[in-house]
């Protein structure tokens, strides 16, 4: 006989684990299924795990602020100590460079003010005091390596920056999922690995469970798609894609790890830098390295992939471009030659407007937490609560599409309107259309 659950969560990444944990805390019999052999082995394992508070809307800051408190309060959140080790939040602070494109951070500062997040405005001299190796000349707007202007300053100095001291990173994103798995199991949640979902079962006009590749059926009236870069495949299986205005697609990302400029203790003195002027973000990385990701500047061609299981996982010219861009800001940053590239290649589950979809679907009982667009690791514990509230409200009869479910966030006490993340929204024109969110 097929096993029966109250809810099945497809995916055991950081978001899926947090959703499963919250549903189990509500007393539901929950199963997280994943095709890989352990929790956090999907795109979460490639995450840069940056916890930053700067977003350009008060709601964006509120969500990140709320998430930040969960990471600070990690053991209390989990309610149990994972014997294989707990992850740590490491505070580094975050420097955000003002550019014309980010409106010199006017909206960001107003949003931080609204949530009482402290920050300091810095002029170029202040940036140099904070990071002695910073070159404060302006190089932007970013261009490709082919452009003769590449690497050439466009003004004597950037317009300034803000420094947000409450920002940092999580020591090990994959292990953080294991921590949440243990917490979920502690309250009755179950996990099934090496189990690939190939079909969403339906009965009498609603979702009824899943079918695995080996033919096993598992029944549940609620199924949640948290499949990361594979989310579009699960939505297609459920037949809900036509009923969505916003879609999701896997997008390849290259993250570079390079040694710190010689003589600089990047591990202890480096900060996170969000630098739209050179088109990169960066943070300290183990081994006195600098980790460099792309802020997806307009000049770059985004590398959407057709199949998240067979895409090219090699570094490309993009890797060198990112390191050379970061070298414009960090004096003395080494640029490793051919064959010496180190770092990570992974996929974002990018939505059309780079804002996630946390929603129900047109198939009753089928929900989704998808389109996390490279910036929702930090929010995962909040998303767990959000999805549990959404599912409880919808299953209780509320028409979320017409009367969006809201809930009060635990730490910030701010109301979160889940309707903001609707699959039926028009593309949000205020989005940065990049990983900045």
CB of 166 to ligand FAD, least distance (A): 15
Give the total residue count for the chain: 437
- Site residues for ligand FAD, 113-132, by CB under 6 A, read none
Shortest CA distance to 55 belongs to which of 369, 284, 279, 376? 376
Report residue 422 as tokens.
């609707």
Nearest to 20 by CA among 9, 34, 6, 4: 9
Q: Is 223 in the site for ligand FAD (CB under 6 A)?
A: no
Q: 248 with 305: CB under 8 angstroms?
A: no
Q: Decide: helix, strand or coil at residue 113.
A: helix
Of 86, 51, 85, which is closest to residue 65 (Cα–Cα)?
51
The number of residues that bind ligand FAD (CB under 6 A) is 39
Nearest to 100 by CA among 149, 142, 55: 142
Taking CB under 6 A as the criterion, which residues in 17-56 touch ligand FAD?
33-36, 41-44, 46-50
Segment contacting ligand FAD by CB under 6 A, of 12-20, 124-132, 143-151, 260-268: 12-20
CB of 55 to ligand FAD, least distance (A): 11
Rounded Cα distance, 25 and 28, in Å: 7
- Interaction of residue 348 with ligand FAD, rule CB under 6 A: yes
Binding flags for ligand FAD, 351-390, as an x/- string (CB under 6 A): ---------------------x-xxxxx------------
Determine the Cα–Cα distance for residues 398 and 357; give it in Å rounded to an integer.
18
- Residue 181 binding ligand FAD, by CB under 6 A: no
Region class of 77: left (phi > 0), else alpha (psi between -120 and 50), else beta:
alpha
Stretch that binds ligand FAD, among 99-107, 158-166, 226-234, 404-412 (CB under 6 A): 226-234
Does the footprint of ligand FAD cover residue 10 (CB under 6 A)? Answer: yes
> Residue 92 or 376: which CB sits closer to ligand FAD?
376
Out of 3, 29, 88, 196, which residue is the one contacting ligand FAD (CB under 6 A)?
A: 196
Residue 402 token pair? 């017409």
The helix/strand/coil state of 345 is strand
User: Binding residues for ligand FAD, per CB under 6 A?
Assistant: 10-16, 33-36, 41-44, 46-50, 196-197, 226-230, 253, 255, 344, 346-348, 372, 374-378
């Amino acid at each position: 006989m097929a096993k029966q659950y109250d809810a099945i969560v497809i995916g055991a990444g950081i978001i899926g684990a947090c959703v499963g944990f919250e549903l189990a805390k509500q007393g539901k019999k929950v199963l997280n299924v994943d095709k890989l052999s352990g929790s956090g082995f999907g795109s979460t394992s490639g995450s840069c795990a940056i916890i930053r508070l700067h977003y350009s809307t008060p709601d964006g800051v509120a969500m990140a602020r709320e998430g930040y408190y969960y990471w600070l309060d990690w053991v209390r959140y989990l309610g149990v100590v994972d014997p294989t080790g707990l992850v740590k939040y490491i505070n580094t602070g975050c420097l955000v460079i003002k550019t014309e494109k980010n409106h010199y951070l006017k909206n960001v500062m107003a949003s931080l003010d609204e949530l009482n997040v402290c920050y300091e405005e810095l002029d170029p001299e202040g940036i140099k005091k904070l990071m002695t190796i910073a070159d404060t000349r302006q190089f932007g707007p970013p261009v490709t390596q082919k452009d003769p202007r590449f690497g050439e300053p466009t003004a004597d100095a950037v317009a300034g920056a803000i420094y947000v001291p409450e920002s940092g990173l999580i020591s090990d994103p994959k292990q953080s999922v294991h921590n949440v798995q243990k917490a979920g199991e502690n309250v009755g949640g179950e996990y099934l690995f090496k189990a690939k979902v190939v079909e969403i079962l339906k009965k009498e006009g609603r979702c009824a469970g899943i079918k695995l590749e080996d033919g096993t059926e598992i029944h549940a009236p609620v199924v949640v798609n948290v499949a990361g870069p594979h989310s579009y495949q699960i939505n297609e299986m459920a037949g809900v894609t036509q009923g969505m205005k916003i879609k999701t697609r896997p997008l390849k990302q290259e993250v570079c790890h390079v040694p710190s400029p010689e003589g600089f203790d990047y591990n202890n003195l480096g900060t996170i830098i969000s630098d739209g002027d050179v088109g990169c973000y960066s943070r300290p990385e183990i081994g006195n390295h600098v980790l460099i990701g792309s802020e997806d500047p307009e000049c770059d061609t985004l590398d959407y992939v057709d199949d998240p299981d067979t895409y090219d996982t090699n570094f490309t010219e993009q890797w060198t471009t990112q390191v050379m861009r970061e070298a414009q800001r960090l004096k003395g940053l080494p640029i490793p030659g051919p064959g010496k590239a180190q770092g990570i290649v992974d996929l974002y589950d990018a939505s059309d407007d780079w804002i996630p979809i946390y929603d129900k679907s047109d198939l009753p009982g089928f929900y989704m937490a998808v389109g996390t667009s490279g910036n929702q690791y930090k929010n995962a514990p909040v998303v767990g609560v959000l999805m549990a509230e959404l599912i409880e409200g919808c299953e209780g009869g509320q028409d979320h599409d017409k009367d969006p479910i809201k809930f009060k966030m635990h730490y910030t006490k701010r109301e979160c309107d889940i309707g903001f993340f609707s699959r039926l929204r028009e593309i949000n024109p205020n989005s940065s259309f990049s990983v900045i969110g």
